[in-house]
Amino acid sequence: MHASAELVCALAAGTAFLLWHEIFISPHLWDWPWSDARLPAAYVQDQPRSFSFVTRPEHLFIFGDSYCTCILPRLSRGADGPTASEGWPWPEGTSPLEDYEMHTASDGPVWARNLTTSYEKPVKLVNLACGGATVDNDILQNWNAPPDFKNQVSTFLQYVTPPPKRIAWHSYNSIFAIEFGTNDVLICLHGTERMRRTKQTEDDVYKELMWHYFDSVERLYNAGARAFAFHVLVPFDRARIGVDAGALTQAQLKQSIMRYNAALRSAAQTYCDYKRQQTDGDIFCSIIDIYSLGHDIMNQPHYYGFKEAIDYCPPYSWRSNAEPDMDVDPSCIGPVGDYVWKDALHPSWTFHQWWARQFQNQMLEEAPKDDE
């Protein structure tokens, strides 16, 4: 690379870092005029502001990766593009609100669908997540380049806004749940060409990712979203993907997960505190702690109903049923639900039951009591 090109890359990296730093030190920069996402102010003002609804939402919008439900195309529909959550195949011109054949990476319902049936009244689920997704493909991109967070938000804006376009949602009956980072951490672990070119550290990348993460959150906010559930990462370093990598890499992976989670927690607090100040408290934020949940389950698997905390049974790793899979392979200790992990990276559907319970319990604990 020529010296001038190296200088341009260095300046670009420095500019990105300074921009991120300025955003989190100077929160006023969060107030960007996202014209493609902004709703008439009267729409939000006409709704009674109360966040007690998070204990009994009417709508649940999901943005994320395969932990939210969908699987890679080679496990479902061939090589015709990523198969999205709840079966949406992601071709242009099709609506995510239609019914499609469902496949999951948990061999049974994931936490989001478990949630929809755990309330007194059924909850409408719109799941825009896609397996392999990252926060921003321009920073970290998986091999199959599925829609990232910003593209999932664009799809939401196209098909679901303004309310009630096709769904009777509004700001105070809908939770927006976001789960990204697993793929970002795995891609970033050993460095990327972009990181080497711009001389970014792993922490630099996570900071940059948070800028884009909450850029997408701001677009959702300007579209009417008010209740957010941000998910930290499961400690998947303890799964076979970490164990089989060797002690050194497993330790590095553990630290990477912790750094990503810390970056997310810090950025979420900065963003949400600023929005509370600027909007007289017109936002609800929760950080769903599935990191601690994962450790608890793997430390005490039998207490949570599991027979195996780390290993998985290979015959189950290729299964992708959308309903609970109770079929038992003779080489396994029981059905897939007896294992914490369905494969080297993805939790089984029974883990997702505990995930949904964690989500619901946090909503019950954190919902404003003065709203009730």
pLDDT (average), residues 188-192 = 92
Evaluate the omega torsion of the peptide bond into residue 147 and state whether it is cis, within 30 degrees of 0. no
- Helix, strand, coil percentages, rounded to 5, for the chain: 45, 10, 45
Return mean pLDDT, the chain. 83
Q: Which residue has the higher pLDDT, 123 or 178?
A: 178
CB 365 within 8 A of CB 122: no
- Compute φ and ψ for 290, nearest 5 degrees: -80, -10
Distance CA 329, CA 86 (A): 26
| 142 — pLDDT class (breaks 50, 70, 90) | confident
Distance CA 144, CA 10 (A): 28
pLDDT (average), residues 288-303 = 98
What SS3 state is found at 68? helix
Distance CA 232, CA 262 (A): 9
pLDDT of residue 93: 54
Residue range 330-369, pLDDT digits in tens: 999 999 999 999 999 999 999 999 999 999 999 999 999 8
Max mean pLDDT range (6-10, 70-74, 187-191, 298-302) = 298-302
Domain, as residue range, for 80: 3-371
Neighbours of 325 (CB within 10 A): 20
Q: Is 260 left (phi over 0), alpha (psi -120 to 50) or beta?
A: alpha
Give the CATH number of the domain where residue 154 resides.
Answer: 3.40.50.1110
Tell whether the model's pLDDT for residue 257 goes beyond 50: yes
pLDDT of residue 130: 86
> Sheet harboring 284-288: ordered strands across?
124-127, 59-64, 174-179, 227-231, 284-288
Identify the burial level of 261 via C-beta atoms within 10 angstroms of its C-beta, where 0-12 means exposed, 13-18 middle and 19 or more buried.
buried
82-107 burial string, b = 16+ CB within 10 Å, else e?
A: bbbbbbbbbeeeeebeeeeebbbbbb
Tell whether the model's pLDDT for residue 40 goes beyond 70: no
| 49 — pLDDT class (breaks 50, 70, 90) | confident
Max mean pLDDT range (40-54, 124-138, 208-222) = 208-222
198-210 burial string, b = 16+ CB within 10 Å, else e?
A: bebebebbbbbbb
Rounded percentage of the chain residues whose pLDDT exceeds 70? 78
pLDDT (average), residues 79-84 = 38
Of the candidate ranges 24-33, 108-117, 216-225, 242-251, the one whose mean pLDDT is the lowest: 24-33
pLDDT (average), residues 156-168 = 83
Q: Cα-Cα-Cα-Cα dihedral of 240, 206, 277, 64, to 10°?
A: -50
pLDDT of residue 196: 94
Tell whether the model's pLDDT for residue 253 goes beyond 80: yes
Query: What pTM does this model have?
Result: 0.85
| 159 — pLDDT class (breaks 50, 70, 90) | confident
* Ranges of H-type helices in the chain: 3-25, 41-45, 111-116, 149-159, 182-188, 193-198, 202-222, 240-243, 247-278, 290-299, 349-366
Q: Which residue has the higher pLDDT, 5 or 252?
A: 252
Tell whether the model's pLDDT for residue 109 goes beyond 60: yes
Q: Which residue has the higher pLDDT, 184 or 84?
A: 184
Residue range 199-242, pLDDT digits in tens: 999 999 999 999 999 999 999 999 999 999 999 999 999 999 99
What SS3 state is found at 161? coil
pLDDT of residue 44: 52
pLDDT of residue 369: 80
Number of domains in the chain: 1
Tell whether the model's pLDDT for residue 267 goes beyond 60: yes
pLDDT of residue 61: 93
C-alpha distance from residue 45 to each of 34, 40, 48, 271 (Å): 19, 9, 7, 21
- Please choose, from the candidates 116, 120, 118, 92, the residue with its C-alpha nearest in 3D space to the C-alpha of residue 102: 116
